[in-house]
Structure 1
Amino acid sequence: MASVNKDDRLTSSQSFLCVGFAGIFSKTVTSPLEVVKILSQVGTFHCKCGFMRSFLLIYQREGLRAFWKGNSVSCLRLFPYSAIHLGTYKTIINLYMDELGRISQWKAIVTGGLAGISAALLTYPLEVVETRLIAQNCRESTYRGVVHTLSSINRHEGFLALYRGFSLTILGMLF
């Protein structure tokens, strides 16, 4: 049995803000790595010649700003994702705790998975927007921001396009 103890040092809102700002900081610092990773996944010319060369090519073709493409939407997604994940986890964990505050390890793992899936379901369209913003060239942009990207995808490709790849995200969470 795992034991979960209540921690009252921070209020829920303080906890949420700490998680949110820590996420924004880490996301911003690691954004260049995320950009190179996503460009490698979509198979752009940048990323066919190695990791370090990719950085150099991106910088030469699009400038320093290119390493933070999609970072604002990524940071915007962190707050609702964290709130939904944390809130769902706490709600479900409290349902399964016994009167001594204990819960089995498997129930805690399943609870974490369910919380992650619910948070991902509600914030996934912003992840799609982030990927689209990163995949486009800074100097010849198709999308002009978060709202424009969301409406453009919905208008031209349909609502379900905002969830393209979601099933793979769920599989990744389960395994």
Structure 2
Amino acid sequence: MAQPNAEPVEDYDYESLPPNFSLLQNMAAGAFAGIAEHCAMYPIDAIKTRMQIINPASSTIGAGVIQATYRMASTEGILSLWRGMSSVIVGAGPAHAVYFATYEAVKHIMGGNQAGVHHPLAAATSGACATIASDALMNPFDVIKQRMQIQNSAKMYRSMLDCAKYVYRQEGLAAFYVSYPTTLSMTVPFTALQFLAYESISTSMNPTKKYDPVTHCLAGAVAGGFAAALTTPMDVIKTMLQTRGTATDAELRTVNGFMAGCRLLYQREGARGFFKGVRPRVLTTMPSTAICWSAYEASKAYFIHQNDKTS
């Protein structure tokens, strides 16, 4: 009599946190997914940062992604495209561990793990909670990363630690978190939109919620690109706040919040300025979110399979 119910139980258990997927395993899967996501598309992220900076010299980066990549590599060396990646590796692991642990826990509490049932509110809420927790850890590392991505940063910082010390000495601890509210204004709607789109697309493509690499990859890419395009204006302001300490422009150096950044950007570049770097942002986000979700779901499926074998 128990046999007909075996498959639905397996479907439910794959999407649930307990009992066959521990918190530690979930965090390990999230850490692996985060590092894989950021490292794979890091050079294009560096180009996006260059394009978003308010600086007369920033026009030398080039009009398109390919031209910008060529100019950056030819003038500063090919390795400049990966400068600052150590900060991402160090920060992305624990930040994404917290990210996916929070996501799974909140989604489970809100009843979003039932197979074949779509819970948009649970998906959006769990995504928002996840990013608030993870960004608190990741924001300082993101500041360091962007400082090392700007032009001529090699003359200022020898390493990630050297950059962190320099920023702390020159601008204090607040410099690592001045962009946090703006970051949340971007990442909370970004993650809510991404998780909502991901859950909607993946549920439509795979109603049983069994492990399916194609579904996870395609749903992750589409969801990430959609959310990235809509939240680009906040990303531009975030870049402004995180790199203001390197600016020679006195007005830019005194920008201390989201609204002040919006006013300055609109004065300097108009409405178009809010979408600077949108192409490399989408181009970076689509494959990176596809990699992130694929790596996370693969790790999750592996741990569950191993747990089922030993149970």
Q: Per the shorter chain, which TM-score range? A: 0.7 to 0.9
RMSD: 2.9
**Are 2:147 and 2:243, in contact at CA under 8 Å, matched by a contact in 1?**
yes
Partner residue in 2 for 1:95 = 204
Distance 1:103 1:37 in 2: 34
Partner residue in 2 for 1:128 = 236
CA offsets per residue over residues 91-148 of structure 1, 9 Å max, x none? 22233336x566853243112100001111111111111110111139x634242123
Q: Which of the numbers 272, 287, 290 marks the counterpart of 1:174?
A: 287
1:149 aligns with 2:291: no
1:105 aligns with 2:218: no
Query: How has the CA–CA distance of structure 1 residues 107 and 62 changed in structure 2, closer, same or farther, with 3 Å as cutoff?
Result: same
- CA-CA distance at 1:39 after TM superposition: 0.6
Query: How has the CA–CA distance of structure 1 residues 144 and 29 changed in structure 2, closer, same or farther, with 3 Å as cutoff?
Result: same
Q: How many residues align?
A: 171
Partner residue in 2 for 1:34 = 142
Could you tell me which runs of 5 or more consecutive residues in structure 2 were left unpaired when the two chains were aligned.
Answer: 1-9, 17-106, 112-118, 289-311
| Equivalent position amino acid for 1:94 in 2 | T
| Equivalent position amino acid for 2:201 in 1 | I
| Equivalent position amino acid for 2:230 in 1 | L
Distance 1:158 1:4 in 2: 51
Q: Which aligned pairs between 1:70-89 and structure 2 lie closer than 5 A?
A: 70-89=179-198
**Are 1:85 and 1:116, in contact at CA under 8 Å, matched by a contact in 2?**
yes
Identity of aligned residues (%): 20
Distance 2:262 2:195 in 1: 26
Q: Which of the numbers 137, 160, 170 marks the counterpart of 1:61?
A: 170
Query: How has the CA–CA distance of structure 1 residues 137 and 61 changed in structure 2, closer, same or farther, with 3 Å as cutoff?
Result: same
Structure 1 length as normaliser, TM-score?
A: 0.80
**Are 1:73 and 1:146, in contact at CA under 8 Å, matched by a contact in 2?**
yes
1:114 aligns with 2:222: yes
Which of the two has higher C-alpha Rg? Answer: 2
Distance 2:161 2:211 in 1: 46
CA offsets per residue over residues 39-93 of structure 1, 9 Å max, x none? 1111358843222221211111111111112111112222211221112122222
Question: Which region of structure 1 is more displaced relative to structure 2, 12-21 or 146-155?
Answer: 12-21
Distance 2:213 2:124 in 1: 24
